[in-house]
Structure 1
Amino acid sequence: MAIDNGSELRQRSGNGKANGNGAPIAVTDEGRKMDEKLDQHTTYEFGGPWGVFAMMTGFPLLMYYLWACLWFYDGQLAHPKSVDDIKPFLLEMWAHIRDDASPNAYAWKVYSGNIVYQLILGQLLPGFQQEGLPVPSLGYKTLMYNCNALGSEYVTIVTAAVLHYTGIFRLTDIIDNYGHIMSVSMIWGFAVSFGMYFYAVATNQQIRMSGNFFYDVFMGAILNPRIGKIDLKMWAEVRVPWLIVFFLSVSGACKQYDTLGYVTPNMAFMVLATWFYYNACCKGEDCIPQTWDMFHEKWGFMVIFWNFSGVPFTYVYSVVYMASHDPSKYQFSTPTYVVLYTTLITAYWIFDSAMAQKSHFKMQQQGITEFRSAFPQVPWHTVKNPTYIQTAHGNRLLTSGWWAYSRKPNYVADWTMSFTWGAVIGFATPIPYFYSVFFITVLVHRTSRDFERCHMKYGKDWEQYCSVVKSKFIPGIY
């Protein structure tokens, strides 16, 4: 199938924007000039070419190291005891990777089979049609998105249940072959990243290029590649990482049940937590076209590798640990479980409702007033009569709902959930906390990128917004 970067485009009056009453909100001449400036490569990020090269090589090595520590060193951070032990230690690590994380035929079948199945479901299942935001680099045209991730989610769950109970494919095999499947995921991540770069250049669809090969592969060269009805960037953001994260947790629960005869509250917590996130992405898929990821962030290694490999194989280290260790190492008291579950549910509610409030507000600016309803619909997902700051650019900045208290309330809730994913095993091993430590670094850096861009784009209007919504993350603290 051919990849099309410009299929299903729509040009709307007023440059694609409308207010809540359906009247067009035009991008001003000043806004157009600023958008043109933002659509040019001006500065290097992430330490430039050498920085991104270090991340492209270093992160896969870190993934192998942390996996080996969980699998073979009782979850402790293994290291050579002396200078003389460095070579034997490295050889031992290599032996573990060679023998227990080889990209064998079984791993290729499982991982690639899932990718193909999700592409088929994405192409064939009916979905909710959602219009995205106007894209400056496409002349303020809008893309239509076929949002059928929710249907794909439940078809996949039913398919997995049938395969498991018939014995055709036991879900416990996923966690048992964790290392092998992880290696295949890395190969997919690299192959798609480099493949999309060369495709973009060959078809002259590259934008915002720096001229440095590794930097442009890392940041991406193409904006919205598509195969038929599927927007690959949105498809990969939802259908690959969070599906795998959820099924790794289910696999861990199945492993515990086969081994112990029951599932611990800790493992059940991870099944619930990962389903919350997976289902939230699927049911809220129609909100994703309104995000910066879709209309501005290019599809490069930074996003591709993270979706194909980084997220699914670094975020659920607690599951890997629990599936291979005695529950006595991480058991809690009943009050602790109550606090843990309550924190997760509360954070999820804030995360879900904050994301919905922002996306629904943006949809209202396009004249969309009726929103998709999917389970579970949390309270306060839409702000009635929202307040906002009108910018000279033509956009409006929301100052109602959760967004009246913080410029990034979704990030605060998102990070809180990530912390519980590590806290679920207590202090048995530090490795599951990698997710929350890494994630806060990503969020702070992403916030700085976002705020810098907003300051350039909106100028004094952004300063006014910051004076109204004073806190970046936690009200009164930061």
Structure 2
Amino acid sequence: MVEKSSPKKVVISDAGKAVDRRLDQHEQYEFGGPLGVTAIMLGFPTLMYYLWICLWFYDGQLVYPHSVEEVKPFLARMWTHVCEDANPSLYAWKVYGGNIIFQFILALVMPGYQQEGLPVPSLNYKTLMYNCNALYSLYATMIAAAALHYTSVFRLTEILDNFWPPHVVATGSQIRMSGNFIYDVFMGAILNPRIGSIDLKMWAEVRIPWVIVFFLSVSGGCKQYEELGYVTPNMAFMILATWLYLNACAKGEECIPQTWDMYHEKWGFMVIFWNFAGVPFSYIYSIVYMARQDPSKYHFSTPRYVFMFATLLTAYYIFDTSMSQKSRFKMQTQGITTFRTAFPQLPWSIVKNPTYIQTAHGNRLLTSGWWAYSRKPNYAADWVQSFCWGAIIGNASPIPYFYSVFFITVLVHRVGRDFERCAIKYGKDWEEYCRVVKYKFVPGIY
């Protein structure tokens, strides 16, 4: 039954708490179990090296042996590139490590907005506080980067030449452990890793990958300007696209504690590797391609540029406002009615008098705003953005489309995990919700 919201806080029922305790236990393997996660941990770094080599040394085209006789020399050639060209230098470690240290210091000292997170079942429904200072940290980073660039202490053009970072790990209280070492390394052991006031998982998700992604695009723009005397519309598109995403994460940081990543995913290889390496060094292949190729290979007509920019901005608007609608609704169910405002606040970021399905568990399922049309409107809009990041170079190279191909695979898999969990958690109420909101991603299609 669809109801209208009220200021009354959500109260989790005893039956709901029993289900939450069940969901906090390991019942079955995901990602193909130990063998699957081992393949992922070995396969993704290898794939990233291969795609980088193709971009850097083979004009962005996929290279492969054309016969059995060519396999051995091909593998030898790839290995030579890894050993001689892709091995991180001390300078690269200083650049990457310096950014991590700088971002950590900013997270410690910059003023921020104090946001209460969702009640955590494994902590007896205690709510954790989050110091949301990513926006101040972002602009401090931009000012510092501009100063370093214009004083030639550190030219932003150097970022693209230092591409392979180290990885980090963390430890702490364990939850949802399987007992299999490899699998638990991949999935993680702890849900809320913290150093002082800093939630490491949220810090790593916002401060590291998207800062690197944005400055890689700026680096590409600076490189074009120095070499060509201008910045191509395609590179300007990526600078805008990456800034929109980074700024969205920073200005809406208080919404992140309400997301699946914070509430459910643990601090393991899957989250750590993707935040510190996967996102910043595989989502921006179009930037790497454009920085090394003649602009004539990816030049568009004016109408096509207009279409690309319009598509990006439309997808961003839906992504930004749908995320805001859902997070603010969850805050309302906690009794939070005053929300932070930061630039840019877009129209329809908050749904007034939202409708919802009240579950026997105690939680409420939003059926208003963008969420009246699909169960994951944010995922659909997010994927369109990812596709644009590849499509901005047209058919010049298939490699920049890696992000969107990989991302749709992740989203479909994540939706399956999420919906399976919701079916257990909400039972018949979930069935009713699926009847009311029929489509998963795109209304009328899927």
1:48 maps to a residue whose letter is: G
The match for 1:72 is: 57
Instruction: Give the aligned partner of residue 317 of structure 1.
Output: 285
How far apart are 1:82 and its partner, in Å?
A: 1.8
- 2:402 matched to 1:434? yes
> Identity of paired residues, percent?
73
Q: How many residues align?
A: 442
Tell me what 1:363 maps to: 331
Written as runs of structure 1 = structure 2, the 5 A alignment for 1:201-280 is 205-280=173-248
Q: Distance in 2 between matches of 1:312 and 1:335?
A: 30
Quick check: 1:35–1:457 contact (8 Å CA) kept in 2?
yes
What residue in structure 2 maps to residue 136 of structure 1?
Answer: 121
Does 2:411 correspond to 1:443? Answer: yes
Residue of structure 2 equivalent to 1:7: none
Q: Partner residue of 1:150?
A: 135
The residue correspondences of 1:38-77 to structure 2 (distance < 5 A) are 38-77=23-62
AA of the residue aligned to 2:257: P
Q: Which runs of 5+ in 1 are unaligned?
A: 1-18
Aligned to 1:380: 348
Per the alignment, residue 381 of structure 2 pairs with: 413
The answer on 1:290 being equivalent to 2:275 is no
- TM-score after normalising by structure 2: 0.98
In 1, Cα distance between equivalents of 2:215 and 2:21:
42
Give the equivalent residue in structure 2 for 1:36.
21
How far does the alpha carbon of each residue in 1:3-30 deviate from its partner, in whole angstroms, 9 at most, with x for none?
xxxxxxxxxxxxxxxx852x34221011
Mapped partners of 1:396, 1:140: distance in 2: 16
- Asked if 1:462 is matched to 2:410, the reply is no
Aligned to 2:78: 93
Residue equivalent to 1:122: 107
* Cα distance between partner residues in 1 of 2:25 and 2:196: 28
For residue 166 of structure 1, what is the aligned residue in structure 2? Answer: 151
Give the alignment's TM-score, normalised by structure 1: 0.92
Deviation at 1:176, TM superposition (A): 2.2
What amino acid is aligned across from residue 269 of structure 2 in structure 1? F
- Conserved in 2, the CA contact under 8 Å of 1:20 and 1:367? no
Q: Following TM superposition, by how much is the alpha carbon of 1:368 offset from its aligned partner in structure 2, in angstroms?
A: 1.1
Q: Aligned equivalents of 2:6 and 2:287: distance in 1?
A: 45
Structure 2 gaps, min length 5 = none
Provide the rounded CA distance (Å) in 2 between the counterparts of 1:280 and 1:25.
28
The answer to whether structure 1 residue 108 and structure 2 residue 93 are counterparts is yes
Contact 1:20 1:369 in 2 (8 A): no
Report the secondary structure of 1:361's partner residue: helix
Q: CA separation in 2, counterparts of 1:159 and 1:81? A: 49
Maintained 8 Å contact 1:252/1:267: yes
Deviation per residue, 1:352-390 (Å, 9 max, x gap): 000000000000111111111111111100000000000
CA–CA separation in structure 1 for the residues paired with 2:162 and 2:268: 28
In structure 1, the residue matched to 2:364 is: 396
Q: Is the 8 A contact 1:20 1:368 kept in 2?
A: no
Instruction: Tell me, in whole angstroms, the C-alpha distance in 1 between the residues paired with 2:20 and 2:162.
Output: 47
TM alignment of 1:327-338, pairs within 5 A: 327-338=295-306
**Deviation string, structure 1 residues 269-305 (Cα, Å, up to 9, x no partner):** 0000000000000101000011121122111111110
The reply to whether residue 175 of structure 1 matches residue 143 of structure 2 is no
Q: Is the 8 A contact 2:357 2:365 kept in 1?
A: yes
Distance in 1, Cα, partners of 2:260 & 2:289? 35
Deviation at 1:177, TM superposition (A): 2.4
Counterparts of 2:215 and 2:158 in 1: how far apart (Å)? 11
Does the CA contact (< 8 Å) of 2:159 and 2:219 recur in 1? yes
Q: For the Cα contact (< 8 Å) 2:9–2:332, is it kept in 1?
A: no
Checking the alignment, whether the CA contact within 8 Å between 1:318 and 1:425 is kept in structure 2 is yes
State the partner residue of 1:477: 445
Q: Is the 8 A contact 1:20 1:366 kept in 2?
A: no
- Residue-by-residue CA offset, 1:100-157 (whole Å, 9 max, x unaligned): 2112100010000000000000000010000000000000000000000000000000
Are the aligned partners of 1:330 and 1:425 in contact in 2 as well (CA < 8 Å)?
yes
Per-residue CA deviations over 1:405-427 (Å, capped at 9, x if unaligned) read: 00000000000000000000000
SS in 1 for 2:128: strand
CA distance in 2, matches of 1:477, 1:96: 44
CA distance in 1, matches of 2:143, 2:225: 19
Helix, strand or coil at the partner of 2:375: coil
**Which residue type is aligned with residue 141 of structure 2?**
T
Counterpart residue identity of residue 16, structure 2: G
User: 1:147-192: CA deviations, max 9, x gaps?
Assistant: 00000000000000000000000000001223xxx1xx2x31xx41
In structure 1, distance between residues paired with 2:146 and 2:294: 26
CA contact (8 A) 2:88 2:162 kept: no
- In structure 2, give the amino acid aligned to 1:468: V
Give deviations 1:83-107, integer Å, cap 9, x for gaps.
1211111111111111221121000
Structure 2 counterpart of 1:12: none
Retained in 2: the 8 A contact 1:349–1:378?
yes
Q: Is the 8 A contact 1:409 1:474 kept in 2?
A: yes
